[in-house]
Amino acid sequence: MDDYDDVRAAFTWDSARAWLDGQPGGGRNIAHEAVDRHVAHGRGEHEALRFIGADGVDESWTYAELAERTSRFAEVLRGLGVGPGDLVCGLAGRIPDLYVALLGTLKARSVFSPLFSAFGPEPIRQRMAMGHARLLVTTPALYRKRVHGLRAELPELEHVLLIGPGSAELVGAERLGPGVLPLAELWPGTSGTFRAEPTDPEEPALIHFTSGTTGTPKGAVHVHDAVVAHHATARLVLDLHDDDVFWCTADPGWVTGTSYGVIAPLTCGVTCIVDELEFDARRWYQLLESERVTVWYTAPTALRMLMKAGSAPHEGRDLSALRHIASVGEPLNPEVVHWGIAELDRPIRDTWWQTETGAIMVANYHGSAVRPGSMGRPVPGIEAAVLARDAEGHVEIGADGGPVRLDEPDSLGELALRTPWPSLMRSYIGAPERYASAFLGDWYLSGDLVRRDAEGWFWFVGRGDDVIKSAGHLIGPFEVESALLEHSAVAEAGVIGVPDPIVGEVVKAFVALKPGFEPSDALRRELIGFGRTRLGNAVAPRDITFQQDLPKTRSGKIMRRLLKARELGLPEGDLSTLEVLA
């Protein structure tokens, strides 16, 4: 950003809408802005997606090829009777057909919801049931392991399209369950000429699930007009230009992997790198060099792992093409910023946003100085404030009926954003009261504790609730506790996040056993394995402590904050410290 203050003063969301085309017949559709409009502007032969496969075989699609493939997928949906407003879920890793399914679903004006491929059966069932999913796109292996046994519990799931290696050879795949077909079997009947009908910008486009502390995940609904914020932040924060080669390492099963791994960069007409494999230090440095990546968006966890790997993996690598590195998903430690300057000769710039905000809200900008440890400054078009909280953690209400703002520098309070903006969630599915509680008047309440310095830079302090943030993933303690309680030995469970230098926090469970069961290393291993089976490795507890007298409130709720205080050796009565660590 050339001059933060000047850009901020001149910016409006209406002016940002003019940066995009809109549809020829009126309306706004995310897939049109991300794909078809580039073809209309004569850039159809520009490379859009470059896939780096696990077997070393690369695949590359131009914008014209992506337009055709997404149109074919939209035709497949319409042929199956899946239309506007119907929910399509995607459960797969970073494979080409998943990206086609996402954009093709939006082109058909159906609603897409990404599911993390490492989820166990129960998180998958819960999210698909909440959204009333009609169609699932997944691989044969994931369907067999995670979904096949759930079909009786998902009566609204009519169709399953199999993608990825081995799917095309599954002739007669219906034997796996009703409505199960390989996508390749339906491909010959499509023409690739489908174009999205005029789409109301307020029409639902995406549902992103994020865990909460009250049991069920929260399904945040986002509309097609969100693409305005995706595009504006990609230009202003990530500094994307038409000829950039962009690599977002986030998994497509999460909001970052969708919003900034697919939608935002494609609206800018860049070439996106998609690496099928997970983290490997030497491989990552090799990709940065060989693919001539210019802008890199990754997670602090990954950067800390690169720090741990030392200098050897990147010695001799030519990273001269790389001009901008940004981080996302969790707070960026100051030492990582210093490491980036020392080892990569580039600062790493933190960004802050949430599933509910839909796009980057606070950031450190390319071309501006970096303050290590700071979230940065608000995006143009966003007004941010620090609100006072009372002893119970609620935002204080002033005499005028509005929230009490803390304008003194370095005051600790809750980060709030003044509404509206295009990518703000429009609802939580099936939870109007839960949605209403996220707002106070025209302020969105983030639940994050921050302070703002005298120059207007924001500094993250901690979460205001019990959600665990591990490697960029939000994990609801109640979800983990509920799964453990399904084991025959478990009477009660309390789950907290324990600080970890690599992933931010790891999940730890405190378990009270039923009569007849005794604590043992064997039972601990069994419960950890049980959790992984039910929830997946990313969500299951890494450690379990047996404790028969779990602390409770008078109403019988387990006091997670007290468990955390004892685990970390903090004074149990120091509620202000616990607020910061929660």
* Residue 437, domain member (yes or no): yes
Residue 582 has a pLDDT of 28
pLDDT tens-digit series, residues 370-390? 999 999 999 999 999 999 998
* Residue 241, domain member (yes or no): yes
| 148 and 87 co-located in one domain | yes
Residue 113's nearest CA partner among 86, 144, 140, 93 is: 86
CA distances from 464 to 39, 388, 412, 468, 560 (A): 46, 12, 12, 11, 13
Residue 579 has pLDDT above 60, yes or no: no
Residue 166 has a pLDDT of 84
* Mean pLDDT, residues 423-443 taken together: 97
Residue 332 has a pLDDT of 86
* Residue 158, domain member (yes or no): yes
Q: What does residue 361 show for φ and ψ, rounded to 5 degrees?
A: -115, -35
For residue 398, give every residue at least 6 positions away whose Cβ sits within 8 Å of its Cβ, in sequence order, or none. 404
CATH label of the domain that carries residue 261: 3.40.50.12780
| 458 and 531 co-located in one domain | no
CATH label of the domain that carries residue 500: 3.30.300.30
Strand order in the sheet with 218-223: 180-182, 159-162, 135-138, 87-91, 111-115, 204-210, 218-223, 427-428
The boundaries of the domain holding residue 494 are 468-581
Residue 495's nearest CA partner among 538, 448, 529, 543 is: 543
Residue 182 has a pLDDT of 95
Place of tokens 């005499």: 399
| 519 and 548 co-located in one domain | yes
Residue 557 has a pLDDT of 67
| 377 and 411 co-located in one domain | no
Q: What does residue 281 show for φ and ψ, rounded to 5 degrees?
A: -60, -50
Measured torsion, CA atoms of residues 327, 330, 331, 336, in degrees rounded to the nearest 10: -50
Residue 215 has a pLDDT of 59
pLDDT tens-digit series, residues 502-557? 888 999 999 999 989 999 999 999 999 999 999 999 899 999 999 999 887 644 56
Residue 555 has a pLDDT of 47
* Residue 218, domain member (yes or no): no
Helices within 207-293 (DSSP H only): 226-236, 255-258, 264-267, 281-290
* Residue 45, domain member (yes or no): no
* Residue 394, domain member (yes or no): yes
| 289 and 267 co-located in one domain | yes
Residue 475 has pLDDT above 50, yes or no: yes
Alpha carbon distance 150, 146 (integer Å): 8
Alpha carbon distance 378, 175 (integer Å): 53
Place of tokens 């207007």: 456
Alpha carbon distance 94, 141 (integer Å): 14
pLDDT tens-digit series, residues 176-225? 888 999 999 999 999 999 999 999 999 999 999 986 544 589 999 999 99
For residue 85, give every residue at least 6 positions away whose Cβ sits within 8 Å of its Cβ, in sequence order, or none. 109, 110, 111, 203, 204
What is residue 372's DSSP assignment?
Answer: T
pLDDT tens-digit series, residues 23-45? 998 999 999 999 999 999 999 99
| 161 and 283 co-located in one domain | no
pLDDT tens-digit series, residues 284-305? 999 999 999 999 999 988 998 8
| 244 and 358 co-located in one domain | yes
Residue 572 has a pLDDT of 58
Alpha carbon distance 550, 41 (integer Å): 63
- pLDDT band at 472, cuts 50/70/90? confident
**Mean pLDDT (the chain, rounded):** 92
Among the three residues 163, 198, 233, which one is the final residue of a domain in this structure? Answer: 198
CATH label of the domain that carries residue 387: 2.30.38.10
| 150 and 125 co-located in one domain | yes
| 256 and 293 co-located in one domain | yes
Residue 448 carries which side chain, given as an amino acid letter?
D
Residue 426's nearest CA partner among 352, 358, 362, 476 is: 358
Beta-bridged to residue 439, according to DSSP, are: 444
| 178 and 88 co-located in one domain | yes
Into how many domains does the chain fold? Answer: 4
For residue 286, give every residue at least 6 positions away whose Cβ sits within 8 Å of its Cβ, in sequence order, or none. 317
Per the structure block, which two tokens stand in for 406?
A: 């803390």
CATH label of the domain that carries residue 145: 3.40.50.980
Helices (H) and strands (E) in the chain, counts: 20, 27
* Residue 323, domain member (yes or no): yes
| 78 and 177 co-located in one domain | yes
Residue 15 carries which side chain, given as an amino acid letter?
S
Residue 480's nearest CA partner among 283, 271, 256, 215 is: 215
* Residue 46, domain member (yes or no): no
Among the three residues 465, 488, 518, which one is the final residue of a domain in this structure? Answer: 465
- pLDDT band at 571, cuts 50/70/90? low
Residue 246's nearest CA partner among 303, 187, 287 is: 287
What 3-state DSSP class applies to 383? coil
| 543 and 500 co-located in one domain | yes
